[in-house]
Amino acid sequence: MTDLNSESRFIPDTLVKPWRTAVFSWPTLLFVVAVVLFIVNSFASPYFLSPWSLSDATFNFTEKALIALAMALLIISGEIDLSVASIIALASTMMGLALQFGVGTPGLVLIGIVTGIICGIFNGFLVTKLGLPSIVVTIGTMSFFRGISFIVLGDQAFKGYPPSFSFFGQGYIWWVVSFEFVLFLLCAFAYYLLLHRTNFGRHVFAIGNNPVAARFSGIRVERVKFILFCLTGLMSGVAAVLLTSRLASTRPSIALGWELDAVTMVVLGGVSILGGAGTIQGVVIAAFIMGLVTFGLGLLNIPGIVMSIFIGALLIFVIALPIVFRKVKERRA
């Protein structure tokens, strides 16, 4: 997908004012969309503007958003991981298995997270050590990981998680503020620092823009990518702990189709699917937008499958709009 239209480059004679770049940036645009959605929602349903229903609204996107944070870094570096939802299934299954052997809550959490990391290492090994395209590798591991869940569980389910385990997916830190939500905000901040304030983050951007140039500048391209796959595995493991705790059961079909939701969040958040550009702020706001859309439509009794039309249309629309604007502008100029 190379750009073949060699356009003559416009060189401005003055600097673009910082406030202008801030106002017209992608996160700002998304933020406006989010605010509009919030206002529309609060007019559309009388039940929307209550602290408890807003708190409930956070549950249906925080787990996906946790994965989207790590996925954003991976996509910026030019790779992708489609196996995240299957990692959740496998991690959840492993937790369920451990439960049968009488492992307690701390052990369950540890097993969930470690399973996630191992899956990430497996993906990272195939992509970076064997030099295979990540989209294909993770389509394979996507079947493979969930396939193991199906082998272990068949048409059964693991149930009977201990009461203390339910805190992670159902507990509240303070009043209506859930543990999941606080964890998401903390992780979002941590990923913001990692991507935008550290050398590692600069390396991720450099690799996404030009892996060859990045290598010549002394960046260990393979190692950075390997770490990113591990991080994505880790976040999937964390999401598995939260989701399993929230549902209090494990089925092999758990989190089916979430990989596409996570990728949608990332792309909607302004991360270039071709790599090299994107912000964590954008991804976080995109996560809120998806949460607002699904929750708002849910309050209006619109079935989930119809919501997916909105999400899909939103994705294409938000990506297409700036391009159409630019084309119209070019034609006028």
The CA-to-CA distance between both ends of the chain, in Å, stands at 26
**Which helix or strand (DSSP H or E) is residue 186 part of?**
helix 179-197
Whichever of 202 and 215 has its CB closer to other proteins, that residue is 215
Q: How far is the CB of 308 from other proteins (least distance, A)?
A: 4
Task: Give dist(CA 58, CA 171) in Å, integer.
Answer: 13
Residues 6+ apart with CB under 8 A from 196: 279, 280
Angle at 17 between CA 13 and CA 20, to 5 degrees: 125
Q: Torsion over CA of 106, 238, 294 and 57, rounded to 10 degrees?
A: 40
Nearer to other proteins, 147 or 298 (CB): 147
Distance separating alpha carbons of residues 114 and 91, to the nearest angstrom: 8
* Smallest separation (angstroms) from other proteins to the CB of 191: 22
The minimum distance between CB 21 and other proteins, in angstroms, equals 23
The nearer residue to other proteins, 139 or 177, going by C-beta atoms, is 139
Minimum distance from residue 325 beta carbon to other proteins (Å): 11
Residue 59 beta carbon to other proteins: minimum distance, rounded to whole angstroms = 21
For other proteins, the closer CB: 306 or 333: 306
Hey, is 172 helix, strand or coil?
A: strand
3 state SS of 177: strand
Residue ranges binding other proteins (CB under 8 A) = 1-4, 82, 126, 130-133, 135-137, 139-148, 150-151, 153-155, 212, 215-216, 252, 256-257, 260, 263-264, 267, 273-274, 303, 305-309, 311-313, 315-316, 319-320, 323-324, 327
Give the dihedral sign, CA 245/250/254/259: positive
CB nearer other proteins, residue 154 or residue 160: 154
Q: Which is nearer to other proteins, 31 or 144 (CB)?
A: 144
What's the rounded Cα separation, in Å, for the pair 305 and 121? 34
Least distance in Å: CB of 46 to other proteins? 26
CB of 161 to other proteins, least distance (A): 23
Are 270 and 142 spatial neighbours (Cβ–Cβ below 8 Å)?
no
Minimum gap (Å) between residue 88 Cβ and other proteins: 15
Residue pair 235/67 in contact by the 8 Å Cβ criterion:
yes
Q: Which CB sits closer to other proteins, 148 or 177?
A: 148
The amino acid present at 189, given as its one-letter code, is F
Residue 172 sits at the vertex; the CA angle it makes with 183 and 241, to the nearest 5 degrees, is: 50
Q: In terms of CB distance, is 42 or 253 closer to other proteins?
A: 253
Distant-in-sequence, close-in-space partners of 251: CB < 8 Å, separation ≥ 6:
153, 157
